[in-house]
Amino acid sequence: MDRDQKDTKSGLNELLTYFFRKKDPTKKVSINLKLMHGINKISIIIFIFAVILMMYEIHYEDMVVTIYFFYRKSTFSNRL
């Protein structure tokens, strides 16, 4: 495994552990810290959702354009 793959894997691992880590009973956590982590988790989820949605829309738009040009080509050749 090269360095880039290792960095990607550790980054994904950090993201997953951020969402699913267990609470440390020895640490005293303030309400401000809880709210900060809650807002961070919500914003990460919204960001990932938006990236997936953008990728879907770009792919869908390419499909529509491709279908349109194939349709135009076929109707144009039928008129000749």
Summarised one tens digit per residue, pLDDT across range 52-61 is 888 887 777 6
Q: Helix 31-79 and helix 3-20: axis angle, to 10°? A: 120
pLDDT higher for 11 or 5?
A: 11
pLDDT digits (tens, 9 = 90+) for 17-47: 877 877 888 888 899 988 998 999 999 999 9
